[in-house]
Structure formats: C-alpha cells, structure tokens
Chain A
C-alpha cells in the first residue's frame, strides 16, 4: 500500500526534474518560441490585410488579426511541445528516465499522468513567455485573463500529451517527429480555429468546417481564447475535458513498454 506522502514525493520529484531540465536547456526552450513568434509577427502581418475578423465572441469589439491568432499560437506551442515530449518519452531522449520512472513502485497510470503534467507545466511556462512577448505587437488580453487561462492551458497540454503518448505507443511508422508533424500536428493545427474563425471556414467549405468541429484542438483553442478574455465557453471546456479524460485513460491503459524502446533494442 502506497502512502499519500509517497504519491506526493513522487509527484514533486517528477515535476522538479522536468523544471531542472527546463533550466538546463533554457536556450533550447526559448528557441522553440521562434516558430509562434514568426507566425504572430510575419504571418499575421501578411494576412491582416486579406482576412477581416468580424465581432465574434469572446471579443466585444473589432480586433486585429494578431489578437485573433494569439490563442491559437498558444495552442500551437503546447501542440508541438506535447507531441515532441510524448514521443521522446518512448523513443529517444527520455528512455533512461522512463526506465527509472516505470520501475518505481508507484502505479503506472499515476506516473504517466504525472509525467505528462510535468511536461505540460514547461509548455505552459513557454506560453506565458510567448504572451509576454506578444505584448510588443499589442496583443493585450485583460490582466486577469493571464490567470484565468491557466486551467485551459493545463487541460490542453494534458490532452495533447496523452494523444502523443497514445500515438507513440501504437503507431510505429510515426516514430520520427517529421512523420508526426505531417500526419498529426499540421492537420490538427490547420483544421482548427487557430488561424481563422470557423464561420469563415464554413463559408469556404462546409465539410472542412465539420472536420474542424470534430477536431478537439479546435475546442482547446476556443477554451484558451475564451478564458484569456475572461469568458466562459462550456462547450469548448466540456469537449476538451472529455477528450482529455478519454485520451488519458486510453494512453495509460494501453501503454506497454515493450511496444516502445523503453525496454531496450535487444530485448531477448
């Protein structure tokens, strides 16, 4: 029987390790912000002229395109980090650490969720850094929005981390990050409300609109968007939370080290 204090020490230990790694590799984590910043500064400047944004919730006035895509880019940071982090758990950089983790007495579902939360925490820190830099291009959500968005960011990171773990456990062909980019990250990102409002998508192509509606990343982005602007979107939160729960259950229940490289390459 494991005591509550054992769970607590294990939880704190995994979080501490992730933050120590974050600090050791801070330049790598900072450089990961280049991608969303390019989207915010370059892509948004180009598209601002051709893509008008009408007044849609949660905004109560006309907004610049930079303001519109900022929540989507927050989602993008978490999407890339979670997928890369989850893959590295079972394929490359984190193999040693995962062996240590999985041979501890703590239950495996607890360990996996704790690990996903720890990776998510680092992603959330990057999102806040991105939002701080976004102030330079006048993306200024309400002050309390920075706090209100935290649950949506954590939920999104857990959902995408669980999805990454599920993919990494089951799909051998997607073992390199380029494959995951092409088949998971880009479709999830582009077929969502991250870059354009869904009514725009509906005007252009109703069937693409429906694909976007079924994409959980759309709802994660909307949960981030609404909470950042101090509004509540129960549908976005409900779908994101429900998807997180299902994916986390599937990922932890189907996780087998022998399907990965955790056990080692020559495991006979």
Chain B
C-alpha cells in the first residue's frame, strides 16, 4: 500500500512549480521528502491531498488513481498539515470525533478508536481539554492521532515539526518512525530540516520542482562520495 507519482507537473500561472515528478514509495517505510523552501514540497502535498487539482500526471494512492477514484484514494490517506488544523475551541476528543464523522464512522466506532489512539499517544488524560490549552508538541500528537483514526495505510506529514522545540521535534520524529514498524504504515515526511532525516531512510530530494534524487540515504551519500546526508544534500541542491 503506497504512493506512486506518475509524471506530476504543476504550474501557478506561467510559473512551473513541479516538473515531471515521478516516484514510487515502498510500503511500510519511512520516506523523507527533502527540499529547501520553495522546492515544491507543499505543492506536491497539496496535490496528494486534493487541495490542489492535478494538472499533469496522476497519483496512485494504495492502488487507486486520485484522478479516477478520488474517494477511494483519499480514504487510504492520513494527513498532518504544516499549519494547525485543529479546532482550538473544541476538546481533543471532539476534534477526533469530527474527523471520524467525516470518514463515515458511527459514534460508537469513533469513541472506541479515539480512545485507542489517545491511549497510544499518551493523551487520554487530556482528552477532554480544549486544544487551546495544549502545548505545540501535544497538539502535533493530537493531529497524528487524528490522522490515523480512520486506519489509513499512508501517512503524509508536511513540515510536521514546524514551531516545535528540538526535544519535541525529536520525540515526534521518533514516534512517527515507530508507526512504520508497529502499523506497517507508509510515511512521507516532508521537511527542509536535514537533521530530521536518517541515513537508513528512503530520501527524495526535491529542488526547484524537480526530483533530484530518490534512493536510500546511505546510497545517496555513497553515490555522491560524501560521508553524511547534509553534505550530499548541499552538493545536490547547492543550498548552503
């Protein structure tokens, strides 16, 4: 169960933002979509979540074409946005139930799955607190718990650690990695922070709308003759 991008192209007016991007993610693995600001990560994210309409190419989510079968494709997807997408006035539980309803769950199923996810993410004691009262790290955990509520096979995270301190960042990154092992989830983690990416990750480097690299981290380093990913990334993108 994975994502396949087939010749994705996208323009804002005359400005090309993505140019013929193709890749296939491996089921149950952690993938890092790495690129400097403006590389096209958020556009790719917008296309995958249908917030942007596909102009060229197609995205296949868990075997379903986003163009032809958007409903089936979207039901396989869990999404964590860069910007807060929680309702601050509602409680943690109410936010989860809202998401569950949008994915067609009855009240009983929503209550049971919310309880399970909140327990798994260590948030049960905050279930009835308004989201406004939570710190940034906890809010992010709520967003991930919510994204997993409908049991998707693919989890997309767009700059999920934005605004978090280093400790919360590391904890979140570690937690999402563990989901690949526990649930067999395919994760696409979009970031511009090289320190969030490990050598054993599958790394996709996007730069100025083009996919410059798509390989395991250590393989990329070896191909470029570098010892670490940061140097490899800088070599490929010229970012410094």
Contact = CB atoms under 8 A, between A and B. Distances in A.
Interface of A: 1-3, 5-6, 9-10, 12-14, 16-17, 20-21, 24-25, 95-97, 99-107, 256-258, 262-264, 266-268
B167 to A, nearest CB: 25
A256 B54 CA distance: 12
Interface string B97-118: 1111111111000000000000
Given A10-B102, A13-B102, A99-B85, A258 B52 contact: yes
B83 A95 contact: yes
Contacts of B100: 9, 13
A268 B43 contact: yes
Given A21-B90, A99-B51, A257-B51, A104 B103 contact: yes
B38 interface: yes
A120 B72 CA distance: 30
Nearest to B89: A24
Interface of B: 12, 17, 37-40, 42-43, 46, 49-53, 70-72, 74-75, 77, 79, 81-87, 89-90, 94, 97-106, 130, 146
Nearest to A23: B89
Contacts of A266: 37-38, 42
Given A97-B98, A104-B99, 20 more contacts: A6-B103, A9-B100, A9-B102, A9-B104, A10-B104, A12-B101, A14-B98, A14-B101, A21-B90, A24-B90, A25-B89, A96-B86, A101-B102, A105-B103, A106-B71, A263-B42, A264-B83, A266-B42, A267-B52, A268-B43
B117 to A, nearest CB: 15
B51 A21 contact: no
Contact of B105 (A9, A21, A263): A9
Interface residue SS majority, chain A: helix
A103 B84 contact: no
A267 B71 contact: no
Given A21-B90, A256-B53, A13 B101 contact: yes
Contact of A263 (B46, B87, B97, B98): B46
A100 B102 CA distance: 9
A96 B81 contact: yes
Contacts of B86: 96
Contacts, number: 119
Given A3-B104, A13-B97, A104-B103, A257 B90 contact: no
Contacts of A104: 74, 99, 102-103
A105 B74 CA distance: 5
A106 B103 CA distance: 8
A113 to B, nearest CB: 14
A25 B101 CA distance: 22
A267 B46 contact: yes
A258 B50 CA distance: 10
B94 A105 contact: no
Nearest to B69: A1
A99 B87 CA distance: 11
Contact of A102 (B12, B17, B51, B94): B51
Contacts of A13: 97-98, 100-102
Contacts of A96: 81, 83-87
Given A105-B103, A268-B43, A2 B71 contact: yes
A17 B83 contact: no
A172 B68 CA distance: 32
B29 to A, nearest CB: 23
Contact of A99 (B12, B81, B90, B97): B81
Contact of A268 (B42, B79, B101, B102): B42
26 contacts: A6-B103, A9-B100, A14-B101, A16-B98, A17-B90, A24-B89, A24-B130, A25-B89, A95-B85, A96-B83, A96-B84, A97-B85, A99-B81, A100-B99, A102-B50, A103-B79, A104-B74, A256-B53, A257-B46, A257-B52, A258-B12, A263-B42, A264-B83, A266-B37, A267-B46, A268-B40
Contacts of B43: 267-268
A158 to B, nearest CB: 20
Which 7 residue pairs across A and B have the least CB separation, nearest first? A13-B101, A6-B104, A104-B102, A96-B85, A105-B74, A24-B89, A268-B38
